[in-house]
Amino acid sequence: MSQHVYQRGHNRVSIFASDCDYRRFLALARSSMVDAGVDVHAFSLMRNHCHFVATPQTPSSLSDAMQHLLSEYTKYFNRRYSRSGTLWNGRYRSKTIDDERYWLNCVRYVEANPVEAKIVETPESYEWTSYRVHAAGEVSDWLVPHHLYLRLGKTPDERQMAYRALWDRDPVPDWWAF
């Protein structure tokens, strides 16, 4: 089952200070998740927190991946900014996504974070989410399309159009359930 995974900076401190930090975090996320056997379907990186929608392949996959990701990123961040100590507000949190409509709403919630925070006006304007992969076909070499996303249409264009249409509805309507 998929999980909504999220983590905040300690005391809501910024965990990203530059584009280089976002890129480093994503590279570490990719290697940590792939190596541990976690399929990542969606993500959003915000100034002081991050979200993933992911499906672990084994019971320990997610915890192994997150432990590696968060510890390696903390080492990088502390070296880069001459600091020490924890970067994170405790252990990451996750919530099981046990309903198909909830899965779609959760992905939309994750990718809408920068719009809701009023950082950007439209989701495609924010570089650090998976929105453009789902809605515009931007290539990703590590995100794994979830079967519910694939069921949105027979072709990539159909799926992208259907996904964009989801954003015009609040919440995902009953007819969208599979």
Tell me, what's the pLDDT at 172?
45
User: How wide is the angle at C-alpha 129 spanned by C-alphas 127 and 73, nearest 5°?
Assistant: 95
Strands (E) across 9-125 are located at 38-45, 49-56, 93-96
Tell me, what's the pLDDT at 169?
65
Q: Is residue 103 within 8 Å of 148, Cβ to Cβ?
A: yes
Q: Is residue 112 within 8 Å of 123, Cβ to Cβ?
A: yes
Q: Which tops the pLDDT comparison, 17 or 178?
A: 17
Q: Of all residues in the chain, what percent carry a pLDDT higher than 90?
A: 85
Tell me, what's the pLDDT at 171?
52
Indicate the CATH number for domain 3-176. Answer: 3.30.70.1290
pLDDT at 153 over 90: yes
Taking only the tens place, the pLDDT of each residue in 87-124 is: 999 999 999 999 888 898 899 999 999 998 899 999 99
Tell me, what's the pLDDT at 178?
35
Q: Considering Cα of 167, then 172, then 173, then 178, what sign does the dihedral take?
A: positive
Tell me, what's the pLDDT at 166?
84
Over residues 150-154, the mean pLDDT reads 94
Domain boundaries, the chain: 3-176
Q: Is residue 36 within 8 Å of 5, Cβ to Cβ?
A: no
pLDDT at 175 over 50: no
11 vs 23: CA distance, rounded Å: 23
